[in-house]
Structures are given as C-alpha cells and as structure tokens.
A and B are shown apart, each in its own frame.
Chain A
Amino acid sequence: MKMEDMPLSGPDNTRLEALAHDIYSELVEDACLGLCFEVHRAVKQGYFFLDETDQESMKEFEIVDQPGVDIFGQVYNQWKNKECECPNCKRLIAASRFAPHLEKCLGMGRNSSRIANRRLASSNNMSKSESDQEDNDDLNDNDWSYGAEKKTKKRKSDKSQNSPRRSKSLKHKNGEIGSGVGAESYKYNYNTGISYETLGPDEVRSLLTTQCGVISEHTKKMCTRPTLPDADAVETDSFDIPDAQPLMSRLQWEDSDISPTDSASSKASTNHSDSRKPKKKKKPSLPLNSGGGGSGSGSLAGGGGSSSQSNISISTKKKRPKLSAPPISSIYDDLN
C-alpha cells in the first residue's frame, strides 16, 4: 500500500494513533513508577510488611467466601424467622417487629403516649371499641393500615394539645390560672361529649373569649384556635413588665416564634425561632429576664406556631382581669 493511495487523513490518523498510544504508555509508566516509589519507601521505613506480622490473627480474620455467609463468616438473616415472646402481652412477635411492639406495648416510646391519648379521646366519640389493645397494637405497628391513616389527620391538632412540651410551658407560667386554663383546654378537647349546655356561663365565657370554640361535626372536638390578634394585643397590656413595648410588638407578629433561649420548655422550637431572632428582636434580654417577662417568655416559647399563639392568648387572657386600667392606657400611649 503506497502512501499516496491512502486517504489524505491516513498518515495523520496513524500518526495520531501512534501518538495516542505513546501518551498512554507514558501514563501507565508513571503509574508503575509511582507504585515502585511508594513500595520502596514503605520498605525502607519499615512499614511494608506490617500487615503480615501476626499469623494467628491473619488466619482468624481471613476473608470467608462461602455461600449463605458474609465475608466475616456470619449468617446475615439468622434472626429473620425467629420469634420472641413479649414479656408484657405474652405474644410471639417476629424479631424485626419486636422493638416497635415493645414500645407500644409498654407505653414507653415516643409515639405510644400520643396514640394512647388519641385512643382516649376518640373512645368517647366513636362507639366502636378501640380499647382493645391488641388490635390497636397491630394497627399502630403497621403504619400503612387504614385505621392509622384515618387518625393522621387529627394528629397535628392532637400534638399541639397533648404534647408534653405544651403542658410544661404552661407550668412555667407564674399564674396558676395559666396552667389551669391549659388543663381546662385539655379537658374541653377530650370531653367532647360535653356540650356547651353543661358548662356554666362563666366557663363558657372564659372559653369563648380565648378560643374559637366551634365543635367539629366529624370529630366532635372543640376548635382551640385563639381569637384574633387584635384582641390578643390588647391583653398583652396586662403583662407587668417594665418594658412592654418590644414584647408587645413582637407579640403582634403572630407567626414569628418569639421563643428566647431562656425558655427551657421548648428546645426544639428555639432552633426554629433562633433563625428569626436576629431580624426581629430589639431588646433580647431586658423584657424577658424580669419576673413577668419570664413567664411571658415561657408561654411564648411553648411549641410551634399554633401552640405558641394559643399559649399567648391563654396567658394574656388570664392576666387581664387581674390588672388595673392604668398600665393598659400607658402602653397604649407608647403605641401612639
């Protein structure tokens, strides 16, 4: 084959191919040399044979290459088919479901209190017996069951009412009335069979001025949505804090989580609120460290958005009848 007969790109192609191969060979040689230097250094520094010094342990930890067994020689699904007897209910539970079952069975897990509360609440409502523990365990074990799914809609409202966080924040308040209302609101939510006729007029008034009070047809539960912010802002005047204005202006921004870091009751929400703190807080420490402010902050910090709102409303509500007019008007002046 003569050079002239080849297509014009021919010689170039072969040259390029040769060049490519040469470049490749250089790269491979670089890699080999690199390895040689590495090994040589390891030899001279004395650490090249370190992994081979102990013959016994070498045999012990040798890689296992058998079927049905992992490289350590362990059978990996050994416990899959075993069953364990629950010490509480004496049932035989599959090993992989044992831990969650124990959680529910002993009532010690995160969800078990929530589920128990929900059960209590709905057992007043619905006549079907949900108090059969075994069935509920199965229901709750299997997150995808229909019964569990039905309950998920209520879970959010339940959580804000029933979570320990909320009850703790209520306890932090100075006035016992605050916690009293908290307890009452629990009661109102649970005893949904109780209608407004059974409550006394004072109770109804105090209830309806703080919360919405509408009873849902489906769940027969009373809505605990706090009343409108304007009403709440008025109530905040009742706080006997030296410098109420920043606190009040903060209160008016309903959706912000105003929880300060001193509140011990809500650690989770502080993360959320801390991110917003730099924007809105003017005087972080002053109003909050004082006595009334401490309780106010405790209430403010109670949980997420909705619950914080209800906490604010509850705490402010309860202080109103106590205090006299002058503080209110003075703070109005500040506003103006």
Chain B
Amino acid sequence: MLKRIMSKDSQMRAAINQKLIEMGERERLKELLRAKLVECGWKDQLKAHCKDVIREKGLEHVTVEDLVTEVTPKGRALVPDSVKKELLQRIRAFLAQHATL
C-alpha cells in the first residue's frame, strides 16, 4: 500500500512539474528568483566566495565540480528569508490552482 501511495505521489509530482513547465511558470519563477538574488546582493556575495575557492585551488586547475561542491551549499544557505518566502508563496498559489487532488 505504501508503494501505491508513493507512486500516486510521484505521479502527482510529475504531473505538476509538467504543468509548471508547460505553462511557462517555471521559467517565470526562475527569472524572478534570479532577479531577486541579484538585487539582494546574493550573487555578489557568492561570487566573492568563488574567488576564494579559485585562489585556493589555483586558477588553472579549478573545475566545475570543485565550484559546484563548494558553492552550492553556501548558496542555498545565503538566500535571504524574504526571497524564500515570496517564492514559496508563488509556488503554493500555483499549486492551489492547478494541483488536482
């Protein structure tokens, strides 16, 4: 029975994700998030952190994986609460409208 619930859940998720993409809402949310992050200075902060990482690893030898593993956790933590709240609000609104339960 758990499996069935799980698969129902994942089905719903897949359906919702598909709807998000098809309606262009995902793109809009992405752009909104990017704009807000630049505005609040998150991008500059993270870029400064990247500089440190690069200086540490050496300019010539830094790889994408290095950057990703170093930068992503910090990036996730640095997102300001207001931005997070606003995005969640928009997502919930979308779900409330389009999630068939």
Chain A residues at the B interface, C-beta cutoff of 8 Å: 12, 15-17, 19-25, 27-37, 39-40, 43, 48-49
Secondary structure of the A contact surface, majority rule: helix
Provide the residues of chain A in CB contact with B76, threshold 8 Å: 25, 28-29, 32
Which of B33, B37, B67 makes the CB contact (< 8 A) with A36? Answer: B67
Provide the residues of chain A in CB contact with B63, threshold 8 Å: 40
Q: How far is the CA of A49 from the CA of B58 in the complex (A)?
A: 13
User: When the two chains form their complex, are residues A28 and B91 in contact, meaning their CB atoms are under 8 A apart?
Assistant: no
The total of chain B residues at the interface (CB under 8 A) is 38
20 interchain pairs, CB-CB under 8 A: A16-B95, A19-B12, A19-B13, A19-B99, A22-B13, A23-B17, A28-B75, A29-B76, A30-B30, A31-B30, A31-B33, A31-B75, A32-B46, A32-B72, A32-B76, A34-B34, A36-B71, A40-B62, A43-B54, A49-B59
Provide the residues of chain B in CB contact with A33, threshold 8 Å: 68, 72
The yes or no answer to B101 lying at the interface (CB within 8 A) is yes
User: When the two chains form their complex, are residues A24 and B101 in contact, meaning their CB atoms are under 8 A apart?
Assistant: no
Provide the residues of chain B in CB contact with A25, threshold 8 Å: 76
Provide the residues of chain B in CB contact with A34, threshold 8 Å: 34
Closest chain B CB from A246 CB (angstroms): 57
A-B pairs with lowest CB-CB distance, top 7: A32-B75, A36-B67, A20-B91, A32-B72, A39-B50, A40-B64, A36-B68
Q: How far is the CA of A159 from the CA of B24 in the complex (A)?
A: 58
Provide the residues of chain B in CB contact with A21, threshold 8 Å: 88
Q: How far is the CA of A28 from the CA of B33 in the complex (A)?
A: 8
Known: A30-B30, A31-B34, A36-B71. 4 other contacts (CB 8 A): A22-B13, A27-B26, A32-B68, A35-B75
Q: Bits for B13-53, please: 1 = Cβ < 8 Å to A, else 0.
A: 10011001000001001100110010000010011001100
Provide the residues of chain A in CB contact with B79, threshold 8 Å: 28
Q: How far is the CA of A299 from the CA of B75 in the complex (A)?
A: 73
Q: How far is the CA of A16 from the CA of B98 in the complex (A)?
A: 11
Which of B34, B37, B47, B92 makes the CB contact (< 8 A) with A39? Answer: B47
Closest chain B CB from A224 CB (angstroms): 60
User: When the two chains form their complex, are residues B88 and A36 in contact, meaning their CB atoms are under 8 A apart?
Assistant: no
Provide the residues of chain A in CB contact with B91, threshold 8 Å: 20, 23-24
Q: How far is the CA of A20 from the CA of B64 in the complex (A)?
A: 28
User: When the two chains form their complex, are residues B20 and A48 in contact, meaning their CB atoms are under 8 A apart?
Assistant: no
Provide the residues of chain B in CB contact with A48, threshold 8 Å: 51, 54
Which of A23, A36, A39, A40 makes the CB contact (< 8 A) with B20? Answer: A23
Most buried by A among B33, B47, B51, B67: B67
Q: How far is the CA of A31 from the CA of B71 in the complex (A)?
A: 11
Which of A27, A37, A43 makes the CB contact (< 8 A) with B29? Answer: A27
Q: Identify the closest chain B residue to A29 (Cβ).
A: B72
Provide the residues of chain B in CB contact with A29, threshold 8 Å: 72, 76
Closest chain B CB from A49 CB (angstroms): 8
